[in-house]
Amino acid sequence: MTVSKEVRRLWQLPENELYRLSAESCNLNYGNKVFLRGLIEFSNFCFRDCTYCGISIHNKNLYRYRLSENEIIDCCKNNYEQGFKTFVLQGGEDLSFTDDTFCSIIHGIKKATSGKAAVTLSLGNKPYSSLKKYREAGADRYLIRFETSDPEIFHQIKPNENFRDRLQTIDNLNKLGYESGTGFLIGLPGETENTVINNIALTVELNPHMVGIGPFIPHPETPLKNCNTGNTGIVKKATAILRILLPEINMPAATASSTADSNLRRELLEIGANVLMPNIGPNKNKINYQLYPGKSCINFSTDFADMQKAVNDAGKIISMNIGNSKIKDLENIKTKGAI
Ligand code: 5AD
């Protein structure tokens, strides 16, 4: 059966049956553990013109900030001392951060954590040569959503980016030995049920180690300001299908989901998500990193308490383990000739 057909078959299942299967799959692979990743939004400068994103060049009413190299490394060091073992550096595509700067930051984080913390990058679409440099500097993981599998919608939301090129980047990450992460938005204008089914099928075909999906939420300072928020029921359904088709992936309950519906984080943890990404960066900058309005993680303490409650309510526990992808573990065993 092709991937698409299998996605369609699962799509037709009664929802309680689908959620039972996905929860079971998550439990088999991750038990009741939820991994934490410390997210640092290091810059909201961006030269891209993505029509959906609140920090794109469309937003002229935004205070732009960037953290210094030392601020980023210190933030990782302090949070490593609090128990975090994975740091996700996410930023707008800010050309003042060169490849050398990123490599120096990666070295700095590894040094500050005795090489024991995983470094995840989420820096947008970068050429193979840059990804190779970051990998050689020690980066472990890289996140880049393809956003939509429909080339026409892609062109509408990212007028100056090439769809094939973005897919190639995901392939490049796997070739370079990263744990690769991808995913898509639910509810972009022009999207149909078929688009979502194709989004799920494309995700499976890209062989990622991590998958993040979430509802599109319109931002008032972007061209898509008058569109509707993505349907949270579809976010749930897509999460469950992905967990069944890719049982070993790490899958966050994305912040956008809890912004769109305050119960959704708990529900996603119940049916298959196994990762949360608390924002550990300086509180003062968070208000300026609103990719969408109403983003919930503006204050670390209250946000972290909300996360703990969702984890509890879902009957799970937080794990401070480094949370490597099981898929990668399998590949390592394979290369050592054990299987
Ligand atoms: N609504 C929801 N998610 C968004 N992202 C960017 N803008 C929005 C929005 N308006 C997501 C994109 C991107 C990730 C970092 O944030 O999917 O890949």
Protein residue whose Cα sits closest to atom 3 of ligand 1: 216
Instruction: Tell me which residue of 83, 81, 45, 76 sits closest to 63, measured CA to CA.
Output: 45
* pLDDT at 124 > cutoff 70: yes
Residue 339 has pLDDT above 60, yes or no: no
CA–CA separation, 90 and 234 (whole Å): 26
183 backbone φψ class: left, alpha, beta (φ>0; ψ -120 to 50): left
Confidence of residue 316 (pLDDT cuts 50, 70, 90): very high
Q: Is the pLDDT of residue 157 over 80?
A: yes
**Among 88-92, 98-102, 141-145, 324-328, the least confident range:** 324-328
| Token pair 């003042």: residue | 96
Q: Which amino acid is at 104?
A: S
When pLDDT is averaged across residues 315-319 and rounded to a whole number, the result is 97
pLDDT for 327 equals: 82
Q: Quick one: pLDDT at residue 28? A: 97
Query: Residue 53 Cα, ligand 1 centroid: separation in angstroms?
Result: 6
**Model pLDDT for residues 213-264, shown as the tens digit of each residue:** 999 999 999 999 999 999 999 999 999 999 999 999 999 999 898 888 999 9
Residue 251: what residue type? M
Distances (CA, A) of 262 to 39, 74, 184, 255: 20, 32, 20, 10
CA-nearest residue for atom 11, ligand 1, is 291
Q: What is the C-alpha to C-alpha distance for residues 251 and 131, in angstroms, rounded to an integer?
A: 22
Residues 13 and 21: their CA atoms lie apart, in Å, by 10
Instruction: Identify the residue whose C-alpha is closest to ligand 1 atom 14.
Output: 145
Residue at 219: amino acid letter: H
With contact defined as beta carbons under 8 Å apart, do 283 and 299 qualify? yes
Would you say residue 199 has pLDDT above 50? yes
Q: Which two tokens stand for residue 163?
A: 């769809």
Mean pLDDT of 119-130: 98
State the burial class of residue 161 (Cβ atoms within 10 Å of its Cβ: 0-12, 13-18, 19+). Answer: middle
- Distance, CA of 96 to CA of 43 (rounded, Å): 10
**Rounded distance from Cα 31 to ligand 1 centre (Å):** 29
| Rounded distance from Cα 219 to ligand 1 centre (Å) | 10
**Residue 91 phi/psi, 5° resolution?**
-155, 165
31 Cβ neighbours under 8 A, 6+ residues apart: none
- Residue 337 identity: G
Where is pLDDT greater, at 43 or 329? 43
Mean pLDDT for the stretch of residues 139-153: 98
Residues in the ligand 1 pocket, defined by CB under 6 Å? 52-54, 145, 147, 185, 214, 216-217, 219, 256, 291-292
Give all strands (DSSP E) within the chain, no chain letters.
Answer: 33-36, 38-43, 86-91, 118-122, 141-143, 179-182, 185-186, 210-211, 214-215, 275-276, 317-319
**Which of these, 235, 174, 161, 176, lies nearest to 200 by C-alpha position?**
235
The whole-model pTM stands at 0.95
Question: What angle, 0 to 180 degrees and rounded to 10, lies between the N-to-C axes of helices 193-205 and 3-12?
Answer: 130
Q: Which of 154, 216, 264 to mutate to test the pocket of ligand 1 (most atoms within 8 A of CB)?
A: 216
* pLDDT value of residue 329: 55
Of the chain, the percentage scoring pLDDT greater than 90 comes to 88
Is residue 180 a contact partner of residue 327, using CB atoms and an 8 Å limit?
Answer: no
Q: What's the CA-to-centroid distance between 216 and ligand 1, angstroms? A: 7
Could you tell me if 248 and 265 are in contact, meaning their C-beta atoms sit under 8 angstroms apart?
no
